[in-house]
């Protein structure tokens, strides 16, 4: 290729070489059951919320493996069958206000992130992992709970920065994940998973879970009420518009993980898709949907499903009467055939970010 040397070019702007890569795999132990990890955001964890959540899942398995000194990916029960550290409950909360809110969709290629994770014993067959993720340039130590969230008392008080139960600070988000060891029952299939610990799993290596991180009561309530308990927002009216139920045939191309199970991050994709469809039916634009700031996402997993299953997702959206751009949506996911409840999810969004 020859260059056109006659064109009136502006003098070239010197381009600085990209900074040297952050230590991608920089992981250091940090107290009982804990670790600290330097992360450079790569394309696989950016964009869709589910991609980010999937990465949190990988971090979770890795953290549990290190804390419990176990090969989580190769775990097997006494009968030799695989045991999976299945996702039972996930709660993601973002800290900060307006455009500074540290939400997953803000993460882009090359961002330097500081991850602190701690695994707790949550019963004979369960592990609770608390992740705190901060943009490396952001603060993680000042009081940054969203003012409105704090005012309604929903996100907890801000206090001791080492308190594992506190709400996220500005520039940081936190994800608490409850995992339970499961295996397939004697008939195989995904519908009737059984609790089963793998050989070599020693829960005594993990510190005990703080009571404040126990989601069990909320999950039990969500299972019957089809929404997580939320007294502070109980007065919010249901947004007018169609109750847009979405049927989804499990897609073997995208929905199933390497163990043949409906992947935990797929539930997030499907629930968000139901939200989006409802948003459009209410007259919302694509751009506005993407511009909303995610304050919280939460999901309880009550069951799995085989690949030939049709799922029905029903989103119910409520709006803050005092701030119309502030919405929460509860989503149920069921097996259409027998009505079996597979999951209950919650999303809280603010629009527009101020
Ligand atoms: O009443 P108690 O105190 O005994 O408490 C009950 C429930 O309240 C509580 N519980 C929960 N706690 C937190 N989160 C929940 N989602 C939840 N659900 C229930 O636990 C106690 C026992 O509940 P129960 O009787 O329903 O348990 P179960 O033995 O009948 O069923 C437990 C599971 C885990 C087998 C079942 O919930 C299940 O199949 N959940 C779906 C798990 C799943 O498929 N996750 C997504 C895929 S995981 C994934 O993608 C991984 C990468 S992997 O490849 O590993 O699968």
Give the model confidence (pLDDT) of 245-295 as tens digits.
999 999 999 999 999 999 999 999 999 999 999 999 999 999 999 999 999
**Residue 73 near ligand 1, beta carbon < 6 Å:** no
Nearest CA to ligand 1 atom 9: 216
Provide the CATH number for the domain formed by 22-210 in this structure: 3.10.129.10
88 lines ligand 1 (CB under 6 A): yes
Nearest CA to ligand 1 atom 24: 302
Q: Please answer whether residues 120 and 33 qualify as being in contact, where contact means their C-beta atoms are separated by less than 8 angstroms.
A: yes
Identify the CA nearest to 66 among candidates 102, 111, 115, 112: 115
b/e for 312-341, b at 16 or more Cβ within 10 A? bbbbbbbbbeeeeebbbbbbbbbbeeeeeb
Q: Which residue has the tokens 């259409």?
A: 336
Cα(303) to ligand 1 centroid in Å equals: 7
Written as six digits, the tokens of 332 are 């149920």
CA of 179 to the centre of ligand 1 (A): 8
291 CA to middle of ligand 1, Å? 33
- How far is ligand 1, taken at its centre, from the CA of residue 35, in Å? 26
Three-class SS string for the chain? CCCCCCCCCCCCCCCCCCCCCCCCCCEEECCCCEEEEEEECCHHHCCCHHHHHHHHHHHHHHHHHHHHCCCCCCCECCCCCECEEEEEEEEEEECCCHHHCCCHHHCCCCCEEEEEEEEEECCCCEEEEEEEEEECCCCCCCCCCCHHHHHCCCCCCCCCCCCCCCCCCCCEEEEEEEEEEEECECCECCCCCEECCCCCCCHHHCCECCHHHCCHHHHHHHHHHCCCCCHHHCCCCECCCCCCCEEEECCCCCCECCCCCECHHHHHHHHHHHHHHHHHHCCCCHHHHHHCEEEEEEEEECCCCCCCCEEEEEEEEEEECCEEEEEEEEEEEEECCCCCEEEEEEEEEECCCC
- Mean pLDDT, consecutive 10-residue stretches, the chain (354 aa), reads 50 70 73 94 96 98 97 97 98 88 92 94 96 71 32 32 67 94 95 96 96 95 97 94 88 97 98 96 94 96 97 97 94 97 97 66
Pocket of ligand 1 contains residue 181 by CB under 6 Å: no
User: Is there an atom of ligand 1 within 6 Å of 216 CB?
Assistant: yes
Cβ(264) to ligand 1 under 6 A? yes
Closest ligand 1 atom number to CA of residue 57: 52
pLDDT the model gives residue 228: 97
What own/partner pairs with CB < 8 Å and gap ≥ 24 does 251-254 have? 252/307
Structure tokens at 120: 């707790």
With vertex at residue 101, the alpha carbon angle to CA 93 and CA 255, rounded to the nearest 5 degrees, is: 50
Q: Which two tokens stand for residue 284?
A: 């919302």
Ligand 1 centroid to residue 87 C-alpha, Å: 8
Which pLDDT does position 153 carry in this prediction?
29
CA distances from 254 to 88, 258, 269, 276, 337 (A): 21, 11, 10, 19, 21
Query: What pLDDT is recorded for position 20?
Result: 61
- How far, rounded to the nearest angstrom, does the alpha carbon of residue 295 sit from its chain's CA centroid? 12
Best residue for ligand 1 mutational test, from 198, 228, 301, 340 (most atoms within 8 Å of Cβ): 301
Between strands 112-121 and 84-94, the pairing is: unpaired
Does 226-354 match 22-210 at the fold level?
yes
* CATH number for the domain whose boundaries are 226-354: 3.10.129.10
**Number of CB atoms found within 10 A of residue 38's CB:** 16
Specify the ligand 1 atom closest to the Cα of 300.
16
Two tokens, residue 115: 């991850």
Tell which residue, 44, 75, 43, has the closest CA to residue 58: 44
Is the minimum distance from the CB of 279 to ligand 1 under 6 angstroms?
A: no
Q: What is the pLDDT, as a whole number, of residue 188?
A: 92
For ligand 1, whether the C-beta of 289 sits within 6 Å is no
Ligand 1 atom closest to Cα of 266?
50
C-alpha 53 to ligand 1 mean position (Å): 18
- Position of tokens 């829960």? 203
Q: Are 298 and 92 in contact (CB under 8 A)?
A: yes
- What pLDDT, on a 0 to 100 scale, did the predictor assign at position 21? 56
* C-alpha to C-alpha distances, 325 to 100, 321, 343, 350, nearest whole angstrom: 17, 9, 26, 6
Are the CB atoms for 70 and 64 separated by under 8 Å? yes
Report the C-alpha gap between 128 and 119 in whole angstroms.
Answer: 6
Is 195 touching ligand 1 by the criterion CB < 6 Å? Answer: yes
**What is the distance in A from the centroid of ligand 1 to the CA of 263?**
14
Query: What residue segments make up the domains of the chain, in order of their start?
Result: 22-210, 226-354
């Amino acid at each position: 290729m020859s260059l056109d040397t006659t064109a009136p070019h502006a003098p070239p702007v010197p381009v600085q070489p990209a900074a040297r890569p952050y230590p991608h795999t920089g992981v250091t132990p940090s107290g009982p059951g804990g670790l600290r990890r330097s992360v450079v955001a790569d394309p696989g964890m950016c964009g869709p919320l589910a991609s980010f959540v999937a990465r949190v899942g990988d971090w979770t398995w890795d953290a549990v493996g290190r804390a419990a000194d176990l090969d989580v990916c190769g775990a097997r029960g006494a009968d030799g069958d695989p045991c999976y550290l299945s996702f039972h409950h996930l709660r993601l909360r973002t800290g900060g206000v307006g455009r500074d809110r540290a939400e997953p969709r803000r993460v882009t290629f090359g961002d330097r992130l500081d991850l602190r994770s701690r695994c707790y014993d949550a019963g004979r067959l369960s592990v609770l992992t608390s992740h705190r993720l901060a943009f490396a340039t952001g603060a993680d130590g000042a009081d940054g709970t969203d003012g409105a969230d704090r005012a309604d008392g929903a996100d907890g008080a801000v206090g001791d920065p080492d308190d594992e139960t506190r709400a996220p600070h500005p520039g940081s988000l936190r994800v608490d994940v409850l995992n339970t060891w499961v295996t397939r029952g004697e008939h195989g299939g995904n519908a009737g998973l059984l609790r089963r610990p793998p050989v070599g799993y020693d829960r005594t290596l993990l510190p005990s879970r703080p009571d404040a991180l126990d989601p069990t009561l909320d999950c039990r309530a969500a299972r019957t009420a089809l929404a997580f308990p939320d007294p502070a927002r109980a007065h919010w009216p249901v947004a007018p518009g169609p109750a847009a139920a979405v049927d989804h045939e499990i897609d073997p191309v995208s929905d199933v993980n390497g163990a043949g199970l409906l992947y935990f991050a797929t539930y997030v994709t499907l629930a968000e898709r139901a939200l989006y469809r409802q948003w459009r039916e209410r007259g919302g634009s694509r751009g506005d949907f993407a511009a909303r700031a995610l304050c919280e996402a939460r999901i309880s997993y009550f069951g799995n499903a085989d690949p030939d299953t049709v799922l029905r997702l029903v989103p119910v959206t409520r709006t803050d009467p005092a701030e119309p751009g502030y919405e929460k949506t509860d989503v149920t996911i069921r097996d259409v055939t027998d009505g079996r409840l597979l999951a209950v999810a919650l999303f809280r969004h603010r629009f527009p970010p101020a």
